[in-house]
Amino acid sequence: MTDETIPAPPEGFKPSARGPYTTHNGPFFHRSTPEALEHAFFALKRHCNSLGIVHGGMLSTFMDGVLANAVGREAGTASVTVHLSLDFLSMARAGDWVFGDAVVTRQTKDLIFVEGRIRVGTRDVMRASGIFKPVHRRADQPAPGAKPKA
């Protein structure tokens, strides 16, 4: 196995299509159930810092996406992060499958509040809360992954 070899994802997970920044940092996977959307990534050596643990920036990027996806699932719209609070509880290492899930806790007219966690196995690695603002795409802005008009 090389430093970039990713094993088959856990049962039910499939690749996630995301924007260019997140795709560059992935690959990421998801599994949808009627109750929740669970996210995952396989920690590679390139995701780690000089101490050999998954970099806090990688975990933060992953968590921001997990929270935003919960908002999108609940509100049916894209959103931007207004506030993000992260608690680093433990560490993940190269070779770990890292999982994340989140739930919307409250909505107002202009803001959506969400809480989430990242774990390795049954051990929590991070917990977070965030506030997101729904946004609507401009008419001249294609959705992510859409082919440009000729």
Q: What is the pLDDT of residues 47-99, one digit of tens each?
A: 999 999 999 999 999 999 999 999 998 888 899 999 999 999 999 999 999 99
Is-contact 117 100, C-beta < 8 A?
yes
Between CA 29 and CA 7 the distance in angstroms is 12
What's residue 141's pLDDT? Answer: 56
Query: Over 60: is that where the pLDDT of 142 sits?
Result: no
What's residue 41's pLDDT? Answer: 95
Between CA 142 and CA 140 the distance in angstroms is 6
Structural domains in the chain?
Answer: 14-134 (3.10.129.10)
* pTM listed for this prediction: 0.85
CB atoms within 10 A of CB 78: 16
Structure-block tokens of residue 39:
């996210």
For residues 110-121, give the mean pLDDT.
97
Is-contact 9 26, C-beta < 8 A?
no
What's residue 115's pLDDT? Answer: 98
pLDDT confidence band for 146 (50 / 70 / 90) = very low
What's residue 138's pLDDT? Answer: 63
